[in-house]
Amino acid sequence: MTTIGQFMSTAFEIDQQQQQIDALTAQIKQLQHQLQQEQQRRQELEHQLYETSIEPHIFACPNDLCTMLRLFSDRIDDGFLLLDHRGYVITINHILASWLNISPAQMYQQHWFLLLTEHRCAFPSALIEQSLHDSQAHQRLEHYITTDGQTWTLDIQTMPLALSDTPMTVLIVHVINRTEQRLKQALLAQSERFAANETLAITMAHELNTPLQSIQNCLYLARRVTNAQLDDYLDTAEHEIERMSSIVHQLLHLYHPDSSKPALLQVNDQVERVLLFTGSILMRRGIRVRHELTPQLPTLWARADHITQALTNVILLLASSMQPGDTLLLRTWTGRHVSSRHDVLVIDVIDTAYAWRMHQQRIATPSAAQTLIEQEQFQLGLTVSQHIIYQNSGQITSQAIDNSSLVVSLSLPLDNTMPNP
């Protein structure tokens, strides 16, 4: 009887434990279901946050962070822009809107790049596009041609805002107008150059004044002496004139060092040498460089420093109007000159983005006078290089190819087998 009672008691305890296990299992299943629902809801929220437009969430509340940023940014003198991850305008302050000559109300919830295209605004936005693409902060000085034709220097800074381990949600763009600061720096540099020129002029006047006084005294005394003494005074005057000539030549040599002698040159070597010491300048400006150098080019007689100087001038002249990301192409080849019918070796320096940049500039500033001024400045910049190449029996030509690029060609005759005089 005792054994049966113990067995019944044990069976009852087992039944209670089974009920407890069943209850715990039901709770676990319920928790799992709730967890799955929570995960599903979280995924839906994340999908809405990062895959759909965020501006309805932002503009729904008038007292949110967006409004605070707009109110704050309207009190500063810098430009402020807030974009979503797709490039739509969340907020823009009145300063930046006035620079673009567009009302802020017209820009809210509009796509930034389509907005600029619609209003034909040439605001530099390459840095903004880069940050939207790589979700990284960037900063760079850019030139901006305003609607009234002025050229400003803008310091553009981009900073993406992202949650931890999530895609970028918004992009802050801070724009500072550095035009006045750069102008003051240029005026300061100009005043320093004027001061240096003044010092140079005073030094030159002092150095030339002494021999001039000696010549004047010699000529004064030459009128009152015998023929034997006259020769001595004239010799002294000649010596002082030679000394003046030497002083002037020393001043000239400060800016025009002695030229190298003509020699047989490998033009490809000269091109690579020029790229070596201009590469850092082009790199700082964000300009990419490619070269297509024809192998085994024939040698030619020329002055190495002349070719180096002319090619450097052309490269820097083209680079001065190029934008970060543009490509500069250098190409060497041989052929027959169209007019002279002589075999020539040609160095082409090509701005591959010229046509696109001119198109953008015509949209921003559709002024024929402005274009003419820039063309005259470009031709003026080529004048020095043309004179140098002419001394080596060559010539420089420039040609703008429609819908493509600007090509500056340095042509040197291959039949110039004797050293230049």
Identify the residue with better confidence: 83 or 240.
83
Residues 297, 269: Cα–Cα separation, whole Å: 10
Instruction: Provide the edge-to-edge strand list for the sheet that holds 79-84.
Output: 89-92, 79-84, 168-177, 151-162, 138-145
Residue 104 lies in a domain: yes
Q: Is the pLDDT of residue 229 over 90?
A: no
Last residue of a domain, one of 253, 278, 296: 253
Q: Please give the angle made by the CA atoms of 176, 180 and 185, to the nearest 5 degrees.
A: 115
Give residue 55's pLDDT band: very low, low, confident or very high (50, 70, 90): very low
Last residue of a domain, one of 142, 177, 212: 177
Average pLDDT, whole number, for the chain?
74
Chain centroid to CA 212: 51
Residues 277 and 407 in one domain: yes
For residues 108-112, give the mean pLDDT: 88
Last residue of a domain, one of 229, 253, 277: 253
List C-alpha distances in Å: 332 to 290, 294, 319, 329, 408.
12, 6, 19, 10, 12
| CATH number of the domain where residue 77 is located | 3.30.450.20
Residue 39 lies in a domain: no
- pLDDT tens digits for 252-268? 554 444 456 788 889 99
Identify the residue with better confidence: 112 or 54.
112
Between β-strands 327-336 and 343-351, what pairing exists: parallel, antiparallel or unpaired?
antiparallel
pLDDT of amino acid 418: 46
For residues 348-359, give the mean pLDDT: 80
Q: Is the pLDDT of residue 342 over 70?
A: yes
Mean pLDDT lowest among 51-65, 230-244, 249-263, 283-297: 51-65
pLDDT of amino acid 373: 45
CB 109 within 8 A of CB 199: no
Residues 3, 10: Cα–Cα separation, whole Å: 10
Domain that holds residue 162: 56-177
> Percent of the chain at pLDDT above 90?
9
Residue 335 lies in a domain: yes
